[in-house]
Structure 1
Amino acid sequence: MYIKKILWAIALIGLVIFGVIAYYIYGAMFQPNTKFTTDEAYIYVPTGANYTQVRNQLEPLLDDMDSFDALASQKKYTSNVKAGRFMISKGMNNNDIINSIRSKNLPIKVSFNNQHNLEDLAGRISKQIEADSLSLLEAMTDEDFLSENGFNDATALGMYLPNSYEFFWNTTAKGFRDKMLKEYKSYWNASRKAKAKALNLTPNEVMTVASIVYEESKKKDEQPRVAGVYLNRLRIGMKLDADPTLKFAAYQLPKYKNTVIRRVLNVHKEIDSPYNTYKNAGLPPGLIAMPDLSAIEAVLNPEKHDYYYFAVDVNRLGYHKFAKSLAQHNVNARAYQRYLSSQGINR
C-alpha cells in the first residue's frame, strides 16, 4: 500500500512536470509574441547573416526573446539563417515567426526612371535592394556582358527600361542586371523590332533617338511630333541640331561639372564631341539620358508630318512651335530667345 502511494505520488509529480513542460512548449510555440502596434513589421536579413544579426532586428519587435531563442534553437533556425525580406504580423507566435523568416522571402517593387547615367541608376537601385552601388555598376559595365548582348558603354543605359519591377530584396547585382536584360528582350518583341527596321534604325538607335526626344519634351502628347522631326532630319541627312546633345557634351567637360545649362549658347555649339549634333551628322554614339517608355513608343510610332524644326512655345511653356521652313523657325526661335532674356536667363 505504501509502495502504491509512492508510485502514485511519483506519477502525479511526473504529470505536473510534464504539464509544466507542455505549458512552456505551448507558450514558446503558440502564444502571441509581438509587441509592435502596427499590423505588420519587416526585417531585412543580409546575405551571409548569422542568428545574432537576425536577433538584433527581432528584439525590438518581440515580447519574449528567451522563448523565441529556445524554439529557434530547437527548430535549428539558429544555424540555418536565410537571407531576404520577411514579414511578421501582429499577434504572430514564435512558431509562425520562425516559419515566416525561414521560408517566406517576400518580393519588393523596384522602380526607377529619369536616370541620366549608369552611375545614377546604380545608386538608385542600391537604395532598394541589398546589392551596393559599386557592385551594381561593375555588373552593368562588364565588357564581356555588354559585348555578348549587343551593347557598349554608350548604349548600355538603354537596356534598363524605366518601370516598376518585382525583385527579392537580396537579389545580387548580376541578378538584377540579368533580369533587366530579360525585360529588355521581352520589350523588344517582333512587332517593335519590325517598326524599328521600317525606320532604318536598330533598337539601340531607337533608344538614342528616344533619349533626345525625352530631353526635348516631357509632354507625352507632343513626343510623337518631336520624334517625327528628328526622323525627318535623319531621313534626308540633315544634322539633328539637338540642344540636349550639346548639354550632354558640355556636362562631360570639367568646366561644366556641377552646373546647370539653362540656355544653349553658340559657345556650346563649338564643343568638340561626337555628341555635338550641331557639328556631326547622324546620331550620337548613344543615349544622353534614360528615356521614358512614352518617348520610346513615340519614336516607334512617330507622327507623320513635314516639320523639320521646332522651338519652345513661350505661350505654352513645355510645348513647342513646329515649322516646315527655316524662315518660320527663325521667327519662333527669336521669340523664345527674347523670352529667355526677359527672364534673365543668360546661360
Structure 2
Amino acid sequence: MRDRKYKFKVFAVVFAISFVCFSFYAYQIFFTPNLQFKKGDTYLFIPEGANFQTVSDSLKKNNIVTDYLSFAFISRLLGYQDAVKPGMYRISANMSNLYAVRMLKRGRQEPTKLVFNTIRLKQDLAEKLDNQLSLSKEDILKLLGDPKFVSQYGFDTTTILTMFIPNTYEVYWNIKGKDLFDRMKKEYDIFWNDERKSQAKSLGFTPVEITILASIVEAETNKQDERSIISGVYINRLRQGMPLQADPTVKFAVGDFSIKRIYDGHLAIDSPYNTYKYTGLPPGPINLPSTKCIDAVLNTAIHKYVYFCASDDLTGHHNFAETYEQHQKNAEKYRRALNKLNIK
C-alpha cells in the first residue's frame, strides 16, 4: 500500500514537473519574442508565387528569426506553410512566433508610400515604380505603351503620363498593374475636380493640354512666382498663332537634358516636340509637372508679354518683353553673361 502511494507521488511529481516544463516551452515558442533585430522595424517582402521555403530563406538571409525551428513548428501547426500570401509585411522588434505567423497567414501586410516626381520619360516612371513596388519596369512600360489598355482611361500612349499626378500615395507593395492604373485614374479624377476643369475650359484647354503646357513651364523655371507669367506668355503665343519656341521641348526632342545653350543644329531636328519647327502644343508632356505648376497654369497671369529670356544675373529668373526689339536686347544681355562664364 505504501509502495503504491509512493509510486503515485513520484508519478505526480514527475507529471507536474513535465507539465510545467512543457507549458514553459510551449509559452516560449508561442509567445516569447523570436523575431529580433537591432532596433526599430524591418520589412519582409514576399513576392507573388512564393512558397514557405521562399519565406524561410528570406527570414534566414536577413537574420530576422532567432529560433527558426520554433517558427517553422508554429507555421506548420497553424497551417501557414500552405497559405503563404504575397506582400510587404512589417516585422516589429520582439514580435512573437504566434503573432508573426497569424499576421502572415491572414495577409495583414503594410501599405507602402508610393512617391514619384521629377519624371521626364516613361522609362523614368517605370524605374521609380519598379524601385518601390513588386511590379517590374518591363511590365509597367508594356502597359504604358499598350494603345488598347491606356484607351480605357481616356488617354493614348503619348498622353498617358498626364494621368499620373505627382504625389505620395499609400498602396500595397504587390499591387497589380491594372489596379495601379485604376488607382491613378481615380486620383486623377479627384485632382481634376469641377473647379479645375472649369478653369481649364475658361482658358480654352483640356486638362491634358493644361498638363502638357505645365510640363513646359515646369522645365522653364523653378521660380513659383514666375510660372503663371511664363504660362501667360505661351498662351498669348498660342492665341496669336506663334510657335511656342520653348527650349525645353527642343531638349526633349534631342533627348539631351544637359544642354545649356540651344544652337541651330538643335533647332533643325524634325520632331513634333520641336516647338520652334511646329506650332501648337507638343503631342504629350515633356515631364510630370507638379500640382503647384498645374495650378499656376490654371491661374495664368493676364498680360501682353509674348517673349521672355533668362535674366543676365543668372539667378534663374527671367526678363519679359512685349516687343521683339526689347526681347533681343534682353537676349543679348543673357548671351554676354553666358559668354563671360564660357558656358557653351
TM-score by length of 1: 0.92
Among 118, 125, 135, the residue aligned to 1:121: 125
Q: Match for residue 61 of structure 1?
A: 64
1:318-337 to 2 correspondences below 5 Å:
318-337=316-335
What percent of counterpart residues are identical? 39
Asked if 1:93 is matched to 2:93, the reply is no
CA separation in 1, counterparts of 2:112 and 2:214?
29
* Equivalent position SS for 2:34: coil
Stretches of structure 2 lacking an aligned partner (at least 5 in a row): none
Stretches of structure 1 lacking an aligned partner (at least 5 in a row): none
Among 255, 279, 282, the residue aligned to 1:281: 279
Q: Match for residue 197 of structure 1?
A: 201
Q: Which amino acid aligns with 1:18?
A: F
Q: Is the 8 A contact 1:140 1:177 kept in 2?
A: no
Question: In the TM superposition, what whole-angstrom CA distance separates every residue of 1:244-294 from its partner, at most 9, and x where no partner exists?
Answer: 11122222xxxx6xx732111122222222222122221111112221222
Q: Which amino acid aligns with 2:342?
A: G
Question: In the TM superposition, what whole-angstrom CA distance separates every residue of 1:6-57 from its partner, at most 9, and x where no partner exists?
Answer: 5554444444333332222111111222331202222111122111221222
* Moved segments of 4+, more than 6 Å: none
Q: Which amino acid aligns with 1:73?
A: R
Q: Match for residue 40 of structure 2?
A: 39
CA separation in 2, counterparts of 1:261 and 1:140?
27
Among 149, 158, 162, the residue aligned to 2:166: 162
Among 183, 186, 196, the residue aligned to 2:190: 186
* Equivalent position SS for 1:267: helix
Q: Is the 8 A contact 2:309 2:318 kept in 1?
A: yes
* Equivalent position SS for 1:294: helix
Aligned residues: 340
CA separation in 1, counterparts of 2:269 and 2:97?
66
Q: Match for residue 16 of structure 1?
A: 17
CA separation in 1, counterparts of 2:159 and 2:213?
12
CA separation in 1, counterparts of 2:116 and 2:287?
13
* Equivalent position SS for 1:310: strand
Q: Is the 8 A contact 1:88 1:100 kept in 2?
A: no
1:102-181 to 2 correspondences below 5 Å:
102-103=105-106, 104-181=108-185
Q: Match for residue 28 of structure 1?
A: 29
Deviation at 1:134, TM superposition (A): 0.5
Q: Match for residue 344 of structure 1?
A: 342
Q: Match for residue 269 of structure 2?
A: 271
Name which of structure 1's ranges 125-134 and 278-287 shifts more when overlaid on structure 2.
278-287
Q: Is the 8 A contact 1:82 1:102 kept in 2?
A: yes
Asked if 1:247 is matched to 2:248, the reply is no
Q: Which amino acid aligns with 1:303?
A: A
Q: Match for residue 83 of structure 1?
A: 86
Question: In the TM superposition, what whole-angstrom CA distance separates every residue of 1:76-101 from its partner, at most 9, and x where no partner exists?
Answer: 11111121111222222211222333
CA separation in 1, counterparts of 2:313 and 2:342?
17
TM-score by length of 2: 0.93
CA separation in 2, counterparts of 1:135 and 1:30?
42
Q: Is the 8 A contact 1:210 1:227 kept in 2?
A: yes
CA separation in 2, counterparts of 1:147 and 1:46?
29
CA separation in 2, counterparts of 1:80 and 1:101?
9
Q: Match for residue 216 of structure 1?
A: 220
Asked if 1:261 is matched to 2:259, the reply is yes
Q: Which amino acid aligns with 2:272?
A: P
CA separation in 1, counterparts of 2:159 and 2:227?
21
Q: Which amino acid aligns with 1:345?
A: I
* Equivalent position SS for 1:86: strand
Aligned CA-pair RMSD: 1.8
* Equivalent position SS for 1:285: coil
Deviation at 1:181, TM superposition (A): 1.4
Deviation at 1:226, TM superposition (A): 0.6
Q: Which amino acid aligns with 1:240?
A: L
CA separation in 2, counterparts of 1:243 and 1:31?
64
* Equivalent position SS for 2:95: coil
